[in-house]
């Protein structure tokens, strides 16, 4: 009898079709997977798909689709389910070539998960966020449904990857402890982000970079500015999203509007320059995984002030390599900003932040960790 020695060796990555903010995490996962020296199948859509089609990576096979959100609730639900089915069909198409699927920002994708299980492939969601919490802060009304979908998806999955042990409780994953693997996928390229301007030579510029959505606490940050009218501070606000009109209305009507620079979007190539303008980056989120912007700021020597959520307290030791907020109330944020800007040891904290990133968030050790996971899954 002739034995079948052909074994599926390729890795697949699935992410729900999304906007520009999803490009960086997908890029990082692709860089990590490159070490395996095999083809990578990427199923995605919208702006994420457009970005990687332009890059034309020879080892990445891209299959994309367009997701339309819809204007009405019923339309959104139907489009959401249709996109899940279409993602599942793509998985079935590649079932002969892929034996491991990683899902990114897609822990609620129950239909693609079922398709992957039917093809006998391993499926591992990477818990980058908590869909029920996101829905709660965005007031979409679907938090209960997403909670149920996420739980079923996790039950069907072979393993679940989280960025740090703190995320197990943050995302309510205690029930799945036996399935959980801790493996951050974040790394910083020292050629992209590095110290250009020492912290003591920067102006007192306070920054926010991120999505303008409820869970990111953007309105808390903006409202904190009104308590800082008598301080010698400037502000840079970079981002866009559902709460953009409220942010812009506030900026236009506040006394300090001439000290606030608003930028809707910056290219990746410009990020280092902006990070080196900012002395203190504020991350006032209600919920987080492991925010890239925090690591990017630290690599640039920028001081970080962040909420104690997600993996943030696993990275920032308060007063050593950054600062933690006791809560994200606007007045608390303002008081902490004033306190930090007046500190005399900011250069030491900036240096500690850079050293921490170099030690724990370089590419090679993260690639090795994922190679171990892939090897374990296949054996």
Is the per-residue pLDDT at 95 higher than 70?
Answer: yes
Q: Report if residue 2 sits inside a domain.
A: no
* Cross-sheet strand order for the sheet of 280-283: 260-263, 234-238, 205-209, 280-283, 303-307, 323-325
Is the per-residue pLDDT at 6 higher than 60?
Answer: no
Q: What is the CATH number of the domain that holds 231?
A: 3.40.50.2000
Please write down the HEC assignment for all residues of 122-136: EEEEECCCCHHHHHH
Q: Which pLDDT value is given to residue 210?
A: 95
The enclosing H or E element of 12 equals strand 10-15
Q: Which pLDDT value is given to residue 19?
A: 75
Contact 104, 13 (CB under 8 A): yes
Residue 8: pLDDT band by 50, 70, 90 thresholds? Answer: low
> Are 157 and 243 found together in one domain?
no
Q: Report if residue 192 sits inside a domain.
A: no
Phi then psi for residue 305, to 5 deg, are: -120, 115
Q: Report if residue 86 sits inside a domain.
A: yes
Q: Report if residue 194 sits inside a domain.
A: no
CA distance 90 to 135: 26
Q: If you average pLDDT over residues 119-139, what whole number do you get?
A: 73
> Are 343 and 372 found together in one domain?
no
Q: Structure pTM?
A: 0.87
Give every CB contact of residue 252 below 8 A, 6+ residues apart in sequence. Answer: none
Domain count, the chain: 2
> Are 306 and 247 found together in one domain?
yes
CA distance 155 to 110: 10
Q: Which pLDDT value is given to residue 222?
A: 95
Is the per-residue pLDDT at 70 higher than 80?
Answer: yes
Q: Which pLDDT value is given to residue 84?
A: 93
> Are 19 and 150 found together in one domain?
yes
> Are 236 and 350 found together in one domain?
yes
Q: Which pLDDT value is given to residue 4?
A: 46
Q: Report if residue 3 sits inside a domain.
A: no
SS3 at position 95: coil
Q: Which pLDDT value is given to residue 379?
A: 82
Residue 133: pLDDT band by 50, 70, 90 thresholds? Answer: low
Q: What is the mean pLDDT of the chain?
A: 90
> Are 371 and 342 found together in one domain?
no
pLDDT in tens, 97-122: 999 999 987 778 899 999 999 999 99
Contact 91, 119 (CB under 8 A): yes
Give every CB contact of residue 68 below 8 A, 6+ residues apart in sequence. Answer: 79
- 197's tokens: 């301007």
Q: Identify the top-confidence range among 133-137, 163-167, 350-354.
A: 350-354
Distances (CA, A) of 186 to 32, 342, 369: 9, 31, 12
Unique residue bearing structure tokens 């204007």: 71
pLDDT in tens, 81-92: 999 999 999 999
pLDDT in tens, 15-46: 999 877 788 899 999 999 887 667 899 999 99
> Are 179 and 328 found together in one domain?
no
Is the per-residue pLDDT at 2 higher than 50?
Answer: no
Is the per-residue pLDDT at 139 higher than 60?
Answer: no
* Cross-sheet strand order for the sheet of 40-45: 60-65, 40-45, 10-15, 98-104, 122-126, 160-162, 180-182
Q: Report if residue 370 sits inside a domain.
A: yes
Q: Which pLDDT value is given to residue 343?
A: 97
Q: Report if residue 1 sits inside a domain.
A: no
Domain with 91 in it: 10-187+362-378
> Are 212 and 234 found together in one domain?
yes
> Are 32 and 127 found together in one domain?
yes
Q: Which pLDDT value is given to residue 69?
A: 84
> Are 261 and 374 found together in one domain?
no
Contact 18, 83 (CB under 8 A): no
Q: Report if residue 298 sits inside a domain.
A: yes
Q: What percent of the chain has pLDDT over 70?
A: 94
SS3 at position 282: strand
> Are 328 and 366 found together in one domain?
no
Rg over alpha carbons for the chain, rounded to the nearest Å, is 21
Residue 169: pLDDT band by 50, 70, 90 thresholds? Answer: confident
CA distance 141 to 31: 36
Half-sphere exposure of 296 (CA within 13 A, CB side): 23
Q: Which pLDDT value is given to residue 3?
A: 45
pLDDT in tens, 235-258: 999 999 999 999 999 888 887 778
pLDDT in tens, 258-287: 899 999 989 889 999 999 999 999 999 999
> Are 178 and 204 found together in one domain?
no
Unique residue bearing structure tokens 């370089």: 362
CA distance 113 to 87: 10
pLDDT in tens, 293-324: 999 999 999 999 999 999 999 999 999 999 99
pLDDT in tens, 49-58: 999 999 888 8
Q: If you average pLDDT over residues 209-228, what whole number do you get?
A: 94
């Amino acid at each position: 009898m002739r034995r079948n020695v052909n074994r599926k060796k390729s890795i697949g990555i699935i992410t729900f079709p999304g906007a520009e903010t999803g490009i960086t995490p997908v890029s990082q996962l692709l860089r990590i997977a490159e070490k395996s020296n095999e083809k990578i199948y990427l199923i995605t859509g919208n702006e994420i798909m457009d970005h990687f089609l332009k890059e034309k990576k020879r080892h990445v096979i891209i299959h994309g689709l367009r997701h339309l959100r819809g204007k009405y609730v019923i339309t959104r639900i139907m489009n959401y389910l249709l996109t899940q089915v279409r993602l599942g069909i793509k998985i079935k198409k590649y079932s002969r070539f892929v034996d491991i699927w990683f899902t990114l920002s897609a822990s609620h994708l129950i239909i693609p998960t079922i398709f992957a299980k039917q093809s006998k492939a391993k499926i591992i969601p990477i818990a980058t966020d908590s869909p029920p919490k996101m829905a709660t802060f965005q007031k979409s009304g679907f938090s209960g449904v997403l909670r149920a979908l996420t739980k079923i998806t996790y039950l069907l999955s072979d393993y679940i990857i989280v960025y740090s042990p703190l995320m197990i409780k943050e995302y309510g994953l205690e029930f799945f402890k036996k399935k959980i693997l801790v493996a951050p996928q974040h790394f910083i390229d020292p050629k992209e982000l590095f110290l250009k301007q020492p912290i003591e030579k920067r102006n007192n510029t306070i920054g926010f970079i991120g999505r303008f959505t409820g869970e990111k606490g953007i309105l808390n940050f903006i409202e904190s500015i009104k308590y800082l009218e008598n301080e010698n501070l400037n502000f840079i606000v970079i981002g866009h999203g559902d709460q953009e009109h409220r942010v812009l209305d506030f900026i236009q009507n506040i006394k300090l509007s001439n000290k606030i620079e608003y930028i809707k979007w910056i290219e990746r190539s410009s990020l280092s320059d902006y990070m080196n303008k900012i002395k203190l980056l504020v991350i006032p989120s209600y919920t987080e995984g492991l925010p890239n912007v925090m690591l990017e700021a630290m690599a640039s020597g920028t001081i970080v002030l962040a909420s104690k959520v997600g993996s943030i307290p696993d990275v920032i030791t308060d007063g050593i390599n950054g600062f933690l907020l006791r809560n994200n109330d606007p007045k608390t944020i303002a008081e902490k900003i004033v306190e930090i800007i007046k500190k005399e040891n900011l250069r030491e904290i900036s240096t500690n932040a850079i050293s921490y990133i170099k030690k724990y968030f370089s590419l090679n050790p993260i690639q090795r960790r994922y190679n171990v996971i892939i090897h374990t899954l296949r054996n």
